[in-house]
């Protein structure tokens, strides 16, 4: 059953509720976009309006029926009824087909270069939550459309969000920082001197409509878990 698919996936990857709650509290986001979501329904426990995108047939089947809304309603942390949308297909194509500037937050976890395709969908000064498993935090760091706004540390099931000393993050152990092309070629995140579990970026309204150049570099020195 699709509901069991969702719960089994949470059991496998761990419950991300604490992560999403920390981000929700800091950003005040209401509408969330989740490219490469697979079966991670937990954002709908925290946010009332979430759009999921994934090319996987199992995810498409699970989101098609009422089970996603039923499960989210059972676990929601907000008053209204959950609004859940699912867009099938490769996000590198489907994001370009969505309305522009409609979402407050984009989630990029274990899904590749979401940061490069998401800005047109974000509202001015919108947010990007990314980890570095597939180098997307590094790609966002190099992208002039984003600035690092906070980092999240994970320990013993708890997440701590901090905005302190952000300059020390995203600094490679072996400088210089890989270029965008190098990150794409390896598909792997860079080893940083001060790693974090996840990184929260803010979209710069002055650069929101631009695209990262082939050598965008701020510091000169479906793929599911």
pLDDT band at 210 (very low <50, low <70, confident <90, very high): low
Question: How many Å apart are CA 141 and CA 205, to the nearest integer?
Answer: 16
How far is CA 90 from its chain centroid?
15
Buried b (16+ CB within 10 A) or exposed e, 52-70: bbbbeeebeebbeeebbbe
Q: Is the pLDDT of residue 154 over 50?
A: yes
Percent of the chain whose predicted confidence (pLDDT) is above 70: 91
pLDDT tens, 73-102? 999 999 999 999 999 999 999 999 999 999
pLDDT, greater one: 207 or 100: 100
Q: What is the pTM of this model?
A: 0.92
Burial of residue 45 (number of CB atoms within 10 Å: 0-12, 13-18, 19+):
buried
Q: What pLDDT is stored for residue 205 in this prediction?
A: 78
The per-residue pLDDT for range 26-41, each reduced to its tens digit, is 999 999 999 999 999 9
Read off the pLDDT of residues 30-75 as tens digits, 9 standing for 90 and up: 999 999 999 999 999 999 999 999 999 999 999 988 999 999 999 9
């Amino acid at each position: 059953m699709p509901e069991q698919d969702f719960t089994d996936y949470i059991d496998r990857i761990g419950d991300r509720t604490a992560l999403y709650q920390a981000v929700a509290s800091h950003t005040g986001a209401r509408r969330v976009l989740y490219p490469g979501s697979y079966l991670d329904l937990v954002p709908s426990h925290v946010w009332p309006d979430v759009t999921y995108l994934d090319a996987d047939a199992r995810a498409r089947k699970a989101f098609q029926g009422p089970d996603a809304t039923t499960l989210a309603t059972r676990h929601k942390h907000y008053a209204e009824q959950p609004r859940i949308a699912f867009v099938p297909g490769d996000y590198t194509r489907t994001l370009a087909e969505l309305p522009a500037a409609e979402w407050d937050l984009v989630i990029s976890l274990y899904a590749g270069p979401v940061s490069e395709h998401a800005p047109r969908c974000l509202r001015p000064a919108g947010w990007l939550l990314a980890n570095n498993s597939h180098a997307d935090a590094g790609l966002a760091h190099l992208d002039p459309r984003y600035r690092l706004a906070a980092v999240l540390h994970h320990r013993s099931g708890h997440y701590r969000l901090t905005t302190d000393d952000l300059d020390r993050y995203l600094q490679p152990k072996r400088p210089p920082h890989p270029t965008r092309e190098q990150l794409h070629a390896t598909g792997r995140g860079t080893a940083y001197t001060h790693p974090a579990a996840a990184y929260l970026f803010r979209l710069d309204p002055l650069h929101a409509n631009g695209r990262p150049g082939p050598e965008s570099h701020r510091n000169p020195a479906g793929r599911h878990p």
